[in-house]
Structures are given as C-alpha cells and as structure tokens.
Amino acid sequence: MKFIGKLLLGILASVGFFVVVSMSVGIYFVMRAEEGGSAAPSAPDKMVLELDLDEGFVEGATGRYFEGFSFHSGTTLQDALISIRRAKDDPRVLGIVANLSSQSMGLAQTQDVRDVITEFRTSGKPALLYSETIGEGTPATAVYYLAASFGELWVQPSGNVGLAGIGIEQPFLKGLLDRIGVKANVIQRKEYKSAMENLSNSRISPANREALEALLGSFFDQFVSGIAKDRALDPAIVRRMIDKGPLLAQEALAAKLIDKIGYRDEFDASVDERIPDAKAVSINKYMSFAPAKDRPEPKKHIAVIHAIGEITRGRDDSSFRSNDGVLSDNFAEAVADAAQDIKIDAILLRIDSPGGSYVASDTIWREIVRAKEKKPIIVSMGNTAASGGYFLAMPADRIFAQPATITGSIGVIMGKLVFAGALEKLDVNWERISFGESAGMFSAATDFSPKELTRLNELIDAAYTDFTTKAAKGRGREVADLERSARGRVWTGADALKAGLVDELGGFGRAIDYTKEKLGLQPTDSAWLVPYPAPEDPWKSLLKAVQEGDLPFGIMSGMKVLAKLGEQLGPLNAASKAMTRTGVQMYAEPIAVK
C-alpha cells in the first residue's frame, strides 16, 4: 500500500510540475504574442530545401493548436506541398535535397508529394534524394515509388531497394469466435460492404475478393507506370525487377533504378559541389521567410476545411481538442461560418476519412449543400474518402482524387457482437428488466429476434436508399445508374473516375489551381488559403485551458495516443471498433497495403 501511495504521489507531483511549467511558459509566450510579432526573418540568398521524408507529413491545417499533445508535431502536408510549389519559382532556392528510407504516408499522400516534386523539376533545379536503404530486406515498393520522382537517387552500398510487390492480409476470426461462444451478427448494404466481414466470416467473400483484387491491381499498375515513366524504363522491366526484389544496391544500379551508390558524406560532398555555398533550410523554416519579391496582394480568399478521421456526432470546444476525428457539429459550424464570411470566395474541403456515423455524416452533408448555394465547394480527397467520407464529398461542385485514393463504399452497415454462447460457457446468468419489446435489441447478451431483424433491415434499407439517392443527385445521375457504382464497393481514385464518382484525378495542388480558375484567377495568381476553423495561438490556448480548468483533461487527451498502440492490429482492431458502434454506420474498412 505504501508503494501505491508513493506511486500516486509521484504521478500527481509530476503532473503538478508539468502544469506549473506549462502555465509559466505559456503566460510568457502569450505576453510576447500580445506585444506583437516580429517581421519575417530574412532568407539566405542561396538555399536548398531539405525534406525529411522518413518523418513524413501529417494531414491538417497550418498552425494547428497543440499538435504536440497528439504527437503530430511534424510538418503538415499542406505546408509541404505549398512550400515546394513556391520554391519552384523562388530564385533563392537552388534545389531540393531529401532523405528517405521508410515513410508513413498513405498512397494518395505519396502521390501528392510526387506531383509537386515532378512539378519542381520542370524548373530545371535538381531534386536529389539519399537513402541508406529503401527497405531493409523487406518490401518497400511504395517507398521506392516516392523516391523515383526525384531526379537523382543515391543508396548506401549496403542498402537495398525493396521493390517486391504489394499485398493485403486479413485475419478472419469466425472460427475462433465460434469456439468461445461469440457471434458477430452483421447487416450490410450491399454485398461489397465488408467492414465487419473478418468477424462474421471464416473466409473472404467473393465480392470482397473481387473488389480488393481490383484495388490492388490498380495500385500495382500505378506503381509500375509511375516508376517506368520516372526512370525512363520499359514497364516490363519494372515488373521483372519487382518479381526479383528486394534488390541489392548494385542490382538496382545495374537496372537503372538508382543513379549512384555511396555513403551520406559522399552524397553531401556531391551536393556541395553541385550547389556550392547554399544553406539547407527545412520546410518550416522556409515558410517563415518573406517571398523572394513583392507580389500583388491576393484578391481572393479560399477557406480550407479538413475532415480527418472517423465521423461522429457531437462537438468539442476545449482548447485541447483532438485532431483524430470529425465531429459533426464542429465541422458543420466551420462550413457554415465559411459560407457566411463575406471575405471567403470559395470553400475547399480536404477529406481523409473512412466514414462513420450515418447521422453525423448527414448533418455535415446538409451544411455543405447549404453552403454550395452561396459559394463554390471543391473537394480534394486524401488517402481515403470512403462511405461517410464520400457522403461529405458528393454534393461538391468538383471532386478531385489521386489515382490511389480509396473512395466510394456507397453502402451502410450495422451489427453487434453476441456473447450469449460465451456467457453460457462461463455459467454467467444475465438478467434483464425492461419495458418495451425492443429494449434489448442491442444487448450483447442476446441475438436479434426475427422481429428485430426485420426492423433493422427496414432501417438499413432506408439509410442505403437515402445514401444512393443523395449520391445520384450530387453526381447528376439516375439512381439506377449510380447503383452500379455503389453496393458498398470501394474504388481507387483511378477507377472511381471511370465509375463517375469523381471528376478529375489530381492532388491538393491541382484542387487549389482549379478553385483559383473557378474564381477567375490565373494559375500564377496568388490567393489566400484560410484555415477553418481559425487555429488558435497555442500559448493562448494553454492560458485559456488553465483559466477554464481544462488542462488536466488536455493532458489526458494527449495520453490517448497510447490507445493507438492497438492500431497495430490493423483490420482486426478496425472491425472490433466497428462492432461497438451504435446506429447505422457508413464506414469503410481501412486497407493497409504492404
């Protein structure tokens, strides 16, 4: 007991120390902020932009509040893309130098970065990349796919080039659940809606296999064609190298997949010789520099609103709100505020979400439809904009997706885990006292009755009809025609374009250019990108949290990161989470490509 008491005392003391330090530092910086910021620092006359692609970029708006509390302290993808595009025409920036051995970005984000690197290279400036190893005896096809967009690739002599194909693995647990007396009772619309299949089935269903094979085939074709184009190789050669991989550095050099073999100091010396006297600057540092030359004040303002993560009902106005999900009230309010702001000329939605609550998605959908009556709505899809994520996108004036975006999944699903058999095996007597025939419908102790199943099927049919009807209206199609693209099936962006679910292939940069065109601007004209909701100054947020008593909860929200350890279980974790959701869900199973 004394040990536990000392442990608790130590924890409380540590938290108290953190609070005091945070308050002191926060108040200091708030005072500094209120005194007024200094002018932008002067930039070196000669720079190389330095990218750490191992760290990767996170989705989200510029200047998010306390990103450190969710361990997202890295550069945002938006900042990276804008900086690289700006550097292309900046005479002070003489090249890009990148480091890459592994990366955590999704495939669509990877294509966003590939696009701006390719665009940068049209300026004639070098884009150079060094890698100790592209994968270490493991498949790293997606990593090499990103590396190939650079003009010159170096690999350490002992390194590999992990071209080895791609694949998806899924555990199916029905047999295990049967043995312990647990049943996954799932109702889906329609046959391709497979988000909970690995709990309810012993094997992959024919429809799910068909969809996943098409998805992987599309990804693989994109990898092969992109690498072949970047490296000026025949696609057949790229396929042969993939089948042979992972490759030794010497094999990759002989196959013209890399340009040089050497150690980091040799690479650095080569860069210094090629771009002498240039100072290496990070993206965050480069963003702080004033433009190379005065440009006309932008006349147009584009609101940028990010929808990242699972969609749920409710709101969170605390200073330490998380960036891990889409809360319907907060998001709808941001859309409404942007629509009513007379300074805002268009709204750009960046969606990276597998969906979630049907009701929450519908709440946001309604606000987007209302905003569309006042201003253009453009959507840029990230790695995933599926099911409820697609529900948010479908009313837009124009939808952009990368070829590797996972989208569609126009369908709904609901269900529950039934523990009746397990309770019986454990001699647990589960008693219920209730009024109303449906009071125990979602109890985990009993299965659905025939009457309950009939009612649930009616509910899910109504939700599916609503989804497809709204999707058809948003896409300007007949419901019967759209049905061929629906039925719960996921598509890559490339296939979604053929299916009529998106309007154009392209990333965040292309979406910005189109929005400017929509507003009568030239591609070279500037426009303000205004994040909604406006990010709070981090230290003012801290002071507010202290004043309002939110700080302990802020600490706890930061500690939620520990729960993310469970995400290593991938599809199993996602399926089990899905089974605990109540109500009709529009959710697409996360797909991890290896």
What is the DSSP code string of 364-426? HHHHHHHHHTTS-EEEEEEEEEETHHHHHHTTSSEEEE-TT-EEE---EEEEEEE-HHHHHHT
Any alpha helices (H) in 410-548, and if so which ranges?
420-425, 450-475, 479-483, 493-498, 508-518, 538-548
Per-residue pLDDT averaged across 277-284, rounded?
92
Residues 6 or more apart in contact with residue 392 via CB below 8 angstroms:
307, 311, 349, 351, 353, 361, 364, 365, 368, 379, 385
The pLDDT assigned to 475 comes to 96
Rg from Cα positions in the chain: 26
Give the helix/strand (H/E) hosting 312.
Answer: strand 310-312
The pLDDT assigned to 103 comes to 83
CA 111, 112, 113: angle at the middle one, nearest 5? 90
The pLDDT assigned to 60 comes to 81
How many CA atoms, within 13 angstroms, populate the side-chain half-sphere of residue 370? 15
Give the helix/strand (H/E) hosting 350.
Answer: strand 346-353
Between 446 and 16, whose confidence is greater? 446
The pLDDT assigned to 593 comes to 59
> What is the share, in percent, of the chain residues with pLDDT greater than 90?
69
Pairing of strands 412-418, 183-189: antiparallel
Taking the C-alpha atoms of residue 103 and residue 562, their distance in angstroms, rounded to an integer, is 21
* DSSP code of residue 575: H
Is the pLDDT score of 19 beyond 60?
A: no
Structure tokens that stand for 218 in this block = 């599309």
The pLDDT assigned to 447 comes to 93
Q: Which domains does the chain have, with CATH numbers?
A: 47-164+245-288 (3.90.226.10), 303-430+489-587 (3.90.226.10)
Taking the C-alpha atoms of residue 163 and residue 238, their distance in angstroms, rounded to an integer, is 9
The pLDDT assigned to 524 comes to 79
User: Which of 22-31, 76-85, 205-214, 506-515 has the least mean pLDDT?
Assistant: 22-31
Taking the C-alpha atoms of residue 438 and residue 442, their distance in angstroms, rounded to an integer, is 9
Region of 500 on the Ramachandran plot (φ > 0 left; ψ -120 to 50 alpha; else beta)? left
The pLDDT assigned to 543 comes to 59
Taking the C-alpha atoms of residue 399 and residue 409, their distance in angstroms, rounded to an integer, is 16
Q: What is the pLDDT of residues 216-254, one digit of tens each?
A: 999 999 999 999 999 999 999 999 999 998 999 999 999
Q: What is the pLDDT of residues 508-563, one digit of tens each?
A: 999 999 999 999 998 778 899 999 987 765 556 555 555 555 544 444 444 444 44
> Burial code of 217-231, b = ≥16 C-beta within 10 A, e = fewer?
ebbbebbbebbbebb
| Pick from 153, 59, 170: nearest CA to 113 | 59
Other CB atoms within 10 A of residue 185 CB: 17
Q: What is the pLDDT of residues 467-500, one digit of tens each?
A: 999 999 999 999 999 999 999 999 999 999 999 9
Taking the C-alpha atoms of residue 234 and residue 585, their distance in angstroms, rounded to an integer, is 45
Is the pLDDT score of 192 beyond 90?
A: yes
For the chain, how far is it from start to end, CA to CA, in angstroms? 48
Structure tokens that stand for 532 in this block = 């909604």
Type of residue found at 485: S
Give me the sign of the Cα torsion angle 330, 333, 338, 339: positive
